[in-house]
Amino acid sequence: MKKVLILTTSTGQGHNQAAASVEESFNNSGYEITKLDFLAKNSKLLNDIIVIGYEFSASKFPKTYGFFYKLTDTNLTNKLLKLIFFMARKKVSKLINKIQPDVIIATHSINISVISDLKKNGLDIPFILVVTDFKAHYLYVDSYVDAYITGSNYTKKSLVDRGINPNKIYPIGIPISSKFYTEVTSANDLKDDEYFNLLLMGGSLGLTTIFTVLKELLKNPHKLRITVVCGKNDNLKNRLISYCNENKFENKKLHILGFTKDISYLMDYSDILISKPGGLTVTESIVKNIPLIIPFAIPGQENENIDFLTSEGYSIYVKDLSKLNDKINYLINNPNELSKIKLKLKELSSTYSLTKIVDIADDLISKK
């Protein structure tokens, strides 16, 4: 039985979700799987600094986070991290020697700081890196990566521009749960034709910007059914429920949810998704062919995701929140425009695959 080691890091849940998807694909293909959050298991101090630091800065000081994202978009950062992760590298090396994987797959760029030096010093195991956004930060760039999995040719070009061999790059889609491909709900029979259905999300952090967006949506004159997903932010969920209970809104149906595993169903039910453009959420919307309106984003990789999505006509970015309802009303009143976006999303999603990563791994293993 072939073995795969999957490495992830918990800066946001997207990387862990991608790792779970990769695990599912390789499990279905008969691989023995070891999955490791290498920071959490190797250095509590580094894990707290990086993971908690990311969550705090991204949610509380997004402009500062965006500044450091741009500041670290250089090859010098890779060299610095290799020094910082010296002890973690030794521990991962011991794990590799113990389990003897046939292939190593990482869903976070930070894992390069561990695996690259091991390969430089003789580790002869294929290394696949999943890029979980639509433009590759310099942290993803390393000659010791044997294959890159990307979400688009746009991402591929960003890697090629930074010196990566195009033959190493496979734009087969960011890995997401298979249920977004296989579980398709015939929600049309459940819908009330009088109401236009909106799904409002803010990622696993449940960014409080959702509250501002919801208040704007409630001004819309159309009949709207609005489902809000607050992620793990229970305080936000309770604030929204209290606000909705204390006020009456004409022509609105409201559903306020916390963390849920039913996103696939909710997307099938909805006409439009309103969300920040995280790589996994965007990929889920692409696979579900649900148009995405972006009224807010975490500066950094999500702004770069916006550049890709809007340049190709896959999504609509609303820079001025006061114009949000204008965009929604235009799509409600022009269903053909909504259909055009869905068609573009369908064309892009037709290039995606959850199983090709296994074929890529098998091919690399056979060439060792």
176-222 tens-digit pLDDT = 999 999 887 766 666 667 899 999 998 655 466 889 999 999 999 99
3-173+353-366 CATH pick, 2.40.160, 3.30.420, 1.20.1530, 3.40.50: 3.40.50
Name the range with the highest mean pLDDT among 75-84, 122-131, 254-263.
Answer: 122-131
Mean pLDDT, the chain, as a whole number?
88
User: What is the mean predicted confidence (pLDDT) over 311-319?
Assistant: 93
Fold that domain 179-349 belongs to in CATH: Rossmann fold (3.40.50)
3-state secondary structure string across the chain: CCEEEEEECCCCCHHHHHHHHHHHHHHHCCCEEEEEEHHHHHCHHHHHHHHHHHHHHHHHCHHHHHHHHHHCCCHHHHHHHHHHCHHHHHHHHHHHHHHCCCEEEECCHHHHHHHHHHHHCCCCCCEEEECCCCCCCHHHCCCCCCEEECCCHHHHHHHHCCCCCHHHEECCCCCCCCHHHHCCCCHHHCCCCCCEEEEEECCCCCCCHHHHHHHHHCCCCCCEEEEEECCCCHHHHHHHHHHHHHCCCCCEEEEEECCCCCHHHHHHHCCEEECCCCHHHHHHHHHHCCCEEECCCCCCHHHHHHHHHHHCCCEEECCCHHHHHHHHHHHHHCHHHHHHHHHHHHHHHCCCCCCHHHHHHHHHHHCC
- pLDDT higher than 80, residue 129: yes
Q: Where are the domains of the chain?
A: 3-173+353-366, 179-349
Q: What is the pTM of this model?
A: 0.89
3-state secondary structure string across 73-92: CCHHHHHHHHHHCHHHHHHH
- pLDDT higher than 70, residue 55: no
User: What is the mean predicted confidence (pLDDT) over 237-263?
Assistant: 90
157-173 tens-digit pLDDT = 999 999 999 999 999 99
User: What is the mean predicted confidence (pLDDT) over 282-301?
Assistant: 93
- pLDDT higher than 80, residue 351: yes
Going by pLDDT thresholds of 50, 70 and 90, the confidence category of residue 5 is very high
